[in-house]
Amino acid sequence: MRQFRLLVFVSLGVVVFGAVTAVSASARKNIPGIVPIVLFPDKSGVSKFVSSVGLSGAVIECASSTSTGGFETSLLGTFDVLFLKCLVNVLAKLFLCTGLSDTVTSSVLVLGTFHLRYREATGTKSVVAFLIIPAHFTCKEGTTEKLIEVMGCAAGEITPVNKSVVTGEHFTMEMKKSSTASRNEITKIVKESGSGEETCQLESKEGTGAFGVSAEETTDEIVGNASSAKIEA
């Protein structure tokens, strides 16, 4: 739910989010909102994880992932994503990566909250920002183990806005890695108050080392569970 630059989990998935709230067309809200407040399932294909520190610049790849979650208010909710069959090739050696609390080998559970925000104060682009509860997992090959920790925030732009999405269509939420640095393309989002910006940045580390910036690349197709849904920005 990515030079071990931690890119986080790159996901290509399908999510059921619920309908997005309508607001007055004459004025922009402080932040977007979602209605009704519902649960949603999600599943994705291959996922990848990369960091700016550790694992000799290798990429952790997970074969698939599934998730559940739900809105607690019109603008935020909780999520959990279980990544399955996660491994990394380090110098021609395959390490299987497993969450410290997970019972299934090569699975990693990631928990946290998600928030709807604007990407910039003067524009109309909307984002989903995911705040990750620190996730710990080990990547193991034989007797060699590497402990990885990921924490922080990752945001992706959601489209379309100001256009109804009907049955058979979907919203798209896309996170991108910066083309020039080991971080996400979006690292600043508008505060919940609608005034000013705040940082949204992933970090990771290996073992007792220092945290370094990370990036997550994800593309989700978000299917509303109503006959028509709209993000008004």
Closest residue by Cα to residue 205 from 149, 132, 151: 149
Average pLDDT over residues 48-66: 70
- Does residue 54 belong to any structural domain of this protein? yes
Question: The tokens of 159 are what?
Answer: 């489209």
| Structure confidence by residue, pLDDT tens digits, 66-96 | 777 777 877 888 888 888 899 888 888 899 9
Q: What is the pTM of this model?
A: 0.82
- Average pLDDT over the chain, rounded to an integer: 78
Question: The tokens of 153 are what?
Answer: 């925030």
- Does residue 43 belong to any structural domain of this protein? yes
Average pLDDT over residues 37-44: 60
Residue at 233: amino acid letter: A
- Does residue 203 belong to any structural domain of this protein? yes
| pLDDT confidence bin for 132, thresholds 50/70/90 | very high
- Does residue 167 belong to any structural domain of this protein? yes
The total of structural domains in the chain comes to: 1
- Does residue 12 belong to any structural domain of this protein? yes
What span, in angstroms and rounded, lies between the C-alpha atoms of 7 and 1? 13
| pLDDT confidence bin for 49, thresholds 50/70/90 | low
* pLDDT beyond 50 at 194: yes
Average pLDDT over residues 200-213: 89
pLDDT, residue 40, reads 62
- Does residue 57 belong to any structural domain of this protein? yes
Q: Could you tell me which residue, 169 or 2, shows the higher pLDDT?
A: 169
Highest mean pLDDT among 12-21, 25-34, 64-73, 80-89: 80-89
* pLDDT beyond 80 at 201: yes
pLDDT, residue 6, reads 41
Which residue segment(s) compose the domain that 134 sits in?
Answer: 6-230
- Does residue 1 belong to any structural domain of this protein? no
Angle at CA 165, nearest 5°, toward 160 and 168?
Answer: 125
- Does residue 27 belong to any structural domain of this protein? yes
pLDDT, residue 169, reads 79
